Amino acid sequence: MSKIKIHHAAEVMVITVDNPPINAGSTEVRQGLLDAIHLLESNIDLKAAVIIGSGNTFIAGSDIKEFSQPLADPHLPLVIEAIENCSKPVVCALHGAALGGGFELALGCDARIALEGTILGLPEVTLGIIPGAGGTQRLPRLVGVEKSIELICSGSRIKADVALELGIVSEVVKTELLTHAITLARSMIGVKNRIRDRSTPAVLAEMVAAASKKALKAGKNRPQVQRAIEMICNSLKLPIDEALAIEREVFQGLRTSVEAKALRHQFFSERKLFKALGFNDAKPQTLNQIAVIGAGTMGSGIAMACLNAGYAVILLDQNEVALANGVKRVEQFYESRLHGGKMHQETVLELLGRFLHSSNWNAIASADLVIEAVFEDIAVKHQVFKEIDDHAKEDALLASNTSYLDIDAIAAASKNPSRVFGLHFFSPAQVMKLIEVVRCKATSSIAMATGFSFAKRLGKMPIISANSFGFIGNRIYAAYRRQCEYMLEEGAYPEQIDKALEDYGFAMGPFAVADLSGLDIAWGMRKSQAATRNPEHRYVSIPDALCLANRLGRKTGAGYYLYAEGAKEKSTDPIVHEMIDAASKAKGLQRRTVTPEEIVKRVLLTMINEVAHLLSENVAREASDCDIALVNGYGFPRWQGGPTFIASEMGQALLDQGLRELAILSGPGFVLANTDVLFKNSRD
């Protein structure tokens, strides 16, 4: 079936891209466009053309599945070349989204007109590549080098009104896009207006350097950002055909890189996340008002996340001081957004108009969803759920924000456990993308479907988890941190481990994270598990020793690192080295050099092993869900793909060999997982 539809409006050919759902620029679309342009050129009765998309969008990007294979002819640059070489003007009519190759196609046309609200952008860097069909050459000729670096290197998207201000589109209309586009095309009959014929506006070298420095910092200095800057700057010094040829060569080289493959893995994993969820077609309940119990840092953060999503919110805390602090935290957050120019005053006033707070349990009577975010103590949570049962309406859904506690045990305190599920937010809740939606044994499909729908509206990445200690993210992180503690005993120091992992791409190393969050949190958990811990299993006492010395992290000025008063950066502390050396000696361990390569390898293998356990125990639904969790909640570098991507690149034989070696290094208590679950799909 043809992906391109053609009809005539007197002298104007209307070329419609019809490749639902997003009109992706596939091989069939490119061939259809090329054929249409050749037909336009050869038909003496046709004087101009309009390219438009069917349905709700123009072309929202290329077919990314094609990027993993040799690209079939015709390539997009050939289509754009045909448009530019055509003697007749071609107008692009944009609506919905014109992204990636869709935007580059538009830049190859003689004029662009957009429907109000259209989104435009070149997001290729987020997939490990650069625009490969002239984006780095034509955009600078319209908006200049400095602005092109900003837009291309961030992969950001702009709305039609901004595109109009920048001169990318010539007109923005509210209705009747096609009619206006045909009128524009008729007005251009006999006129070509190729961007390639323009010169890139001159710019001061220091302005280019400043824009490049900013883009590289924001883009983590990744190769595609570096190369994008080089290509954009070529527009100032090279003939366009030479610059286009170099751009295409760089694009092809990056497209086949492991990093681009890893980023595509993340892209498809996240897209799959929002597809069939196995809720037996349960329809989510409608939520209008959300009650949040507990006005601490997490509770106020959850309240803000809900307010940002358009919900009415009630923040409840029986401690008047805690409530006042929580309300102040919310108000100050929006004040900072206002003063920073990120929100308008009208928006802030409307948003705070939906925000209520109370210390009276009766205030939650009208809430559709009640989220408890109180102290991590099972007795405290049981008491809270008893109050919720007494005061919430019967059809309200109830969620716990617990990180580690048995959520089935929490649900058991409710009169109706079928309406209870977990919503594990990550701090700061108004910022972090990850949220775990946890199914209890008695949770209804409607409750789960509602929880997932709610998380989507918050703009989160919702990972479905069964009830298990630490759920998905914290369980993998606990195994990872434990492995790092083993390496402390064996010969590494905190700063060496942190540096190796940060150099690999982690946002922060595990010991810097521990100091930031507070060592006493994990200490309390370890103490609660002490009675059930197998004494034969390997246990590292170094974190306990730090806590006993009141080295609880940043809040006490010392943890794994030292934090001098007023100092912005942490510093290593010889006392910590002495404590670690003493712990190794007490166990009779001969300290040795642990290389950065060994540190990274052991951490990755540990994560992969834990993912395999989670899949075998049916805690996680999909292996790729674990990759999404680590990237969006734990600072795992997106461009490395995640543990399951790394496992697939290694292959099962090499992975199993590495895990057997890891088990020997880790000692008693380390349980080898069955990696068959990671490679099941590749064999099916």
Q: Which residues are catalytic?
A: 403, 424, 436, 474
Specify whether the CB–CB gap between 12 and 49 falls below 8 A: yes
For residue 653, CA distances in Å to 95, 482, 657, 666 come to 49, 25, 6, 20
Partners of 4 in beta bridges: 17
Residue 526 one-letter amino acid: R
Specify whether the CB–CB gap between 86 and 228 falls below 8 A: no
52/684 Cα distance (integer angstroms): 40
The phi-psi region of residue 494 (left if phi > 0; otherwise alpha if psi is between -120 and 50; otherwise beta) is alpha
As a three-state string, the secondary structure of 432-488 is CCEEEEEECCCCCHHHHHHHHHHHHHCCCEEEEEECCCCCCHHHHHHHHHHHHHHHH
Chain-centroid distance of CA 402 in Å reads 23
Decide: residue 393, CB within 10 A, 0-12 exposed, 13-18 middle, 19+ buried: exposed
507/498 Cα distance (integer angstroms): 10
Decide: residue 548, CB within 10 A, 0-12 exposed, 13-18 middle, 19+ buried: exposed
What token pair was written down for 29?
């679309």
Specify whether the CB–CB gap between 480 and 496 falls below 8 A: no
Question: 428: closest CA among 297, 335, 329, 522?
Answer: 297
Helix (H) or strand (E) holding 626: helix 623-633
What token pair was written down for 406?
């048995």
483/602 Cα distance (integer angstroms): 7
As a three-state string, the secondary structure of 568-614 is CCCECCHHHHHHHHHHHHHCCCCCCCCCHHHHHHHHHHHHHHHHHHH
What token pair was written down for 372?
């408890």
Specify whether the CB–CB gap between 254 and 129 falls below 8 A: yes
654/27 Cα distance (integer angstroms): 37
Query: Please, what's the b/e burial string for 265-298 (b: 16 or more CB within 10 A of its CB; e: otherwise)?
Result: bbbebbeebeeebebeebebbebebbbbbbbbeb
Question: 526: closest CA among 491, 478, 580, 462?
Answer: 478
Query: Please, what's the b/e burial string for 136-160 (b: 16 or more CB within 10 A of its CB; e: otherwise)?
Result: bbbbbbbbbbbbbbbbbbbbebbeb
Helix (H) or strand (E) holding 331: helix 320-339
C-alpha neighbours within 13 Å on the C-beta side of residue 56: 3
For residue 268, CA distances in Å to 28, 65, 262 come to 22, 9, 10
How many CB atoms lie under 10 A from the CB of residue 162?
A: 15
Helix (H) or strand (E) holding 513: helix 510-517
616/676 Cα distance (integer angstroms): 9
What token pair was written down for 168?
């990318």
Question: 473: closest CA among 435, 502, 500, 504?
Answer: 435
